[in-house]
A and B are shown apart, each in its own frame.
Chain A
Amino acid sequence: MTFSRKSFWPESAFFPNDIEHWFGKDYLPAHVRDSQVSFPAVNLEVSPESYDYYIFAPGLDKAQIDITLDKNLLTVTGESPVLIPDAEGVTVYRRERKTGKFSKSLKLAKDCSLNNISAGYSLGVLHIKVQRLAHTRPEKITIT
């Protein structure tokens, strides 16, 4: 997986892009930093053969992840578990993890092969691979 430094915030946005620019992303408090990404965070990588979605959702129960396809809308639902016990004698110092049920809808491109979708959950990342239609892939034309 490759990582670039692309920012999806417009350059004109004053906050929090400016703070991030001067002090770096780690300076931001967790709630501001996390407001810049959806829950769960998604990375998409595009290759000539496929679209690869990586959904970063640690600690999920594999059996409770649900992926449905309606026309070209792929919806992933699951539940991020609450791990802090709700009991007497427990003192909470930080509660930064986002927990609870989530639903993530991904609109697939027109050149997706809707019959060729596979998914796997490993290391807390749900990887959904959507193959592209063969005739839409770029191909080299040889000059005769």
Chain B
Amino acid sequence: MANQVNSKPEKTLLTPALDIYEQANQVIIIAELPGVNNDNLNIQVQDQTLSIEGVIALATADGEQQGHEEVTSPYYTSTLQLSRDLDSESIAADFKDGLLTVKITKKTLSIPHKVDVKFI
């Protein structure tokens, strides 16, 4: 049993809780990354894939030992495949109090619009 426990990978990754919704001409992603500061947050888009990575950075006193732990790793990671209807060139993000908000604009063609028909 001890060997099995030791065979786990060294780095445990946490998946942040996500809220994702679509509104008017954009899709909004809200990710919970508590404890991550601006320097340790990395957002990347490549080939319609959005990657969110963060590392918890909290100051601790010397000689502290873990007494109880529910957040078991400092590493957050999440990867999302973006629809082709989303414009990966038009992404805005802000980060405050551990909440990351990413807004991705829909491509103009994918926004429903009324077609005027000429009745002859």
Q: Does B117 belong to the interface (CB within 8 Å)?
A: no
Q: Does B113 belong to the interface (CB within 8 Å)?
A: no
Chain B nearest CB, measured from A94 CB (Å): 4
Interface size class of B (residues with CB under 8 A): 35 or more
Query: In the complex, are the beta carbons of B98 and A59 less than 8 A apart?
Result: yes
Query: In the complex, are the beta carbons of B70 and A37 less than 8 A apart?
Result: yes
Q: Does A60 belong to the interface (CB within 8 Å)?
A: yes
A121 to B96, CA, bound (A): 12
Question: When A41-B70, A90-B22, A94-B18 are in contact, do A60 and B64 touch as well, CB less than 8 Å?
Answer: no
Query: In the complex, are the beta carbons of B97 and A97 less than 8 A apart?
Result: no
Query: In the complex, are the beta carbons of A1 and B67 less than 8 A apart?
Result: no
Query: In the complex, are the beta carbons of B13 and A3 less than 8 A apart?
Result: no
Binding site for A on B (CB under 8 A): 1, 4, 8-9, 12-15, 17-24, 30, 32-37, 56-74, 96-99, 101
Chain A nearest CB, measured from B25 CB (Å): 11
A77 to B13, CA, bound (A): 28
Query: In the complex, are the beta carbons of B19 and A94 less than 8 A apart?
Result: yes
From B17, B66, B70, A45 is in contact (CB under 8 Å) with B66
A–B pairs, 26, beta carbons within 8 Å: A1-B58, A1-B74, A5-B72, A7-B72, A24-B12, A25-B12, A25-B14, A25-B72, A41-B70, A43-B68, A44-B66, A46-B65, A47-B62, A47-B64, A56-B34, A58-B99, A83-B99, A84-B19, A89-B24, A91-B22, A92-B20, A93-B22, A96-B17, A96-B19, A123-B36, A123-B37
